[in-house]
């Protein structure tokens, strides 16, 4: 199934890039999995991502900085159902989603026909624990939706 997940995510991203969908910052959702938060952190980010201390021990601080700079709404989801509810909101026109391939595949299908650019997280400690993400990939995806040239 992993090969299928990879293929669906890659094909989706190719189609989304080709469509050149644009969104205003307030219409773009930066959707993040809770596994990006350090397992050593005692802050509750699932209710409010801005509870982050921005200590730098995980990817959340850099993602919040990016979201703030671009004026985009960040949201951390503790599960796929919560992510889908947030992504399906009427005001959301496009989504940059970070997760593992399986969750991305499920999420892309759950919110069709909304445009989702999927960024696969990095899992150096295995699934669902202390994951990270290449923030420059997230920024590139956000800039494409916002119609902003790369740096």
The confidence band for 26, taking pLDDT boundaries of 50, 70 and 90, is very high
φ/ψ of residue 115, rounded to 5 = -80, 125
Q: Does the residue 76 lie in any domain? A: yes
72 vs 144: CA distance, rounded Å = 13
Q: Is the pLDDT of residue 151 over 70?
A: no
Digit-coded pLDDT (tens) for 91-119: 999 999 999 999 999 999 999 999 999 99
In this structure, is the dihedral angle defined by the CA atoms of residues 83, 67, 50 and 134, taken in order, positive or negative? Answer: positive
CATH number (domain holding residue 11)? 3.40.50
- What pTM, to 2 d.p., does this model score? 0.93
Q: Does the residue 20 lie in any domain? A: yes
Q: Does the residue 77 lie in any domain? A: yes
Domain containing 134 equals 2-146
Digit-coded pLDDT (tens) for 34-93: 999 999 999 999 889 999 999 999 999 999 999 999 999 999 998 888 999 999 999 999
10 vs 147: CA distance, rounded Å = 21
Q: Does the residue 109 lie in any domain? A: yes
Comparison of pLDDT for 3 and 53, the residue scoring more: 53
Q: Is the pLDDT of residue 14 over 70?
A: yes
In this predicted structure, what is the pLDDT of residue 150? 56
Structure tokens at 46: 């699932």
In this predicted structure, what is the pLDDT of residue 4? 86
19-37: b (≥16 Cβ within 10 Å) or e: eebebeeebbbbbbbbbbb
Number of domains making up the chain: 1
Q: For all residues of the chain together, what is the average pLDDT?
A: 93
Q: Does the residue 151 lie in any domain? A: no
In this predicted structure, what is the pLDDT of residue 37? 93
């Amino acid at each position: 199934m992993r090969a299928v997940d990879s293929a669906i995510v890659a094909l989706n991203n190719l189609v989304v890039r080709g469509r050149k969908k644009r969104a205003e910052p307030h219409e773009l959702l930066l959707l993040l999995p809770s596994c990006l938060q350090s397992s050593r952190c005692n802050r509750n980010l699932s209710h409010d991502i801005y509870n982050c201390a921005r200590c730098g021990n995980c990817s959340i601080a850099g993602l919040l900085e990016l979201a703030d700079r671009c004026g985009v709404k960040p949201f951390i989801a503790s599960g796929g159902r919560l992510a889908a509810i947030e992504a399906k909101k009427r005001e959301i026109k496009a989504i940059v989603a970070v997760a593992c391939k399986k969750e991305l595949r499920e999420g892309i299908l759950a919110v069709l026909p909304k445009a989702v650019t999927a960024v696969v997280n990095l899992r150096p400690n295995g699934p669902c624990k202390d994951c990270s993400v290449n923030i420059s990939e997230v920024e590139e995806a956000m800039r494409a939706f916002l119609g902003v040239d790369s740096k």
